[in-house]
């Protein structure tokens, strides 16, 4: 009998890497299954191994997601944890280009009502979300996906420009004196 995905325990710590297995900020080539240890005092964002938790993973998404074992000293930050030593397990098979694209489409769809309330006659973002899903499932080609992306980008830039104009005209965010 297959395992119910909802019962699978996620690791406490995660590390997101580029497709080439490198840290996106450090460019460090991470070995899988080997402990990496940092010498000297840990300093958040300066010295240490930075990992995240599922609660903050969306801030660090990248091509590959690895479970991480940690040991030794650690410093907890707002969206990450700085640790003395870490060992990466193999990349999670559930985080792929396709699942990343579908996850992004789900996130975009969640806020779509906000855009549609402001721009009820502009369906470009909705069509882009549909295209992202279709591309993820191999139902459309690169050219169709690029066209949908361009249309959604144009729609967002249009809204941003119009919203900024409202701010600059003094229609929004007036201070109470």
Q: Give the count of domains, the chain.
A: 2
Strand positions, DSSP E, 42-111: 49-51, 64-76, 81-88
Indicate if 32 and 84 belong to the same structural domain.
yes
Least confident span in 2-6, 50-54, 57-61, 121-125? 2-6
Mean pLDDT across the stretch 8-21?
92
Q: What is the pLDDT of residue 91?
A: 96
Pick from 88, 111, 133: which residue ends a domain?
88
Q: Does 64 have pLDDT greater than 90?
A: yes
Indicate if 115 and 59 belong to the same structural domain.
no
Indicate if 102 and 157 belong to the same structural domain.
yes
Pick from 65, 88, 111: which residue ends a domain?
88
Pick from 54, 69, 88: which residue ends a domain?
88
User: 């579908």: which residue's tokens?
Assistant: 102
Q: What is the pLDDT of residue 163?
A: 87
Residue 3 lies in a domain: no
Q: Does 112 have pLDDT greater than 80?
A: yes
Indicate if 115 and 55 belong to the same structural domain.
no
Q: How confident is the model at residue 152 (pLDDT cuts 50, 70, 90)?
A: confident
Task: Give the range of the structural domain holding residue 118, as residue numbers without chain letter.
Answer: 97-168
Dihedral sign, CA of 37, 83, 53, 24?
A: negative
Mean pLDDT across the stretch 114-138?
92
Residue of 77, 87, 74, 73 whose CA lies nearest to 11: 87
Q: Is the pTM of this model over 0.85?
A: no
Indicate if 74 and 122 belong to the same structural domain.
no
Q: Does 111 have pLDDT greater than 60?
A: yes
Indicate if 76 and 106 belong to the same structural domain.
no
Indicate if 24 and 81 belong to the same structural domain.
yes
Q: Does 1 have pLDDT greater than 70?
A: no
The number of residues making up the chain comes to 177
């Amino acid at each position: 009998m297959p395992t119910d995905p909802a019962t699978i325990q996620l690791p406490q710590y995660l590390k997101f890497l580029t497709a080439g297995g490198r840290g996106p900020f450090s460019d460090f080539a991470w070995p899988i299954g080997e402990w990496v240890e940092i010498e000297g005092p840990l300093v958040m964002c300066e010295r240490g191994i930075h990992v995240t938790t599922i609660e903050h993973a969306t801030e660090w998404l990248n091509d590959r997601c690895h479970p991480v074992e940690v040991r030794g000293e650690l410093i907890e930050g707002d969206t990450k944890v700085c640790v003395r030593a870490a060992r990466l397990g193999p990349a999670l098979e559930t985080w792929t280009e396709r699942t990343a694209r579908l996850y992004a489409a789900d996130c975009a769809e969640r806020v779509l009502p906000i855009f549609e309330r402001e721009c009820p006659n502009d369906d470009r973002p909705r069509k882009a979300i549909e295209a992202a899903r279709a591309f993820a499932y191999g139902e459309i080609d690169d050219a169709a996906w690029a066209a949908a992306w361009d249309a959604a980008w144009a729609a967002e830039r249009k809204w941003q420009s119009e919203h900024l104009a409202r701010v600059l005209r003094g229609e929004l965010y007036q201070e109470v004196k």
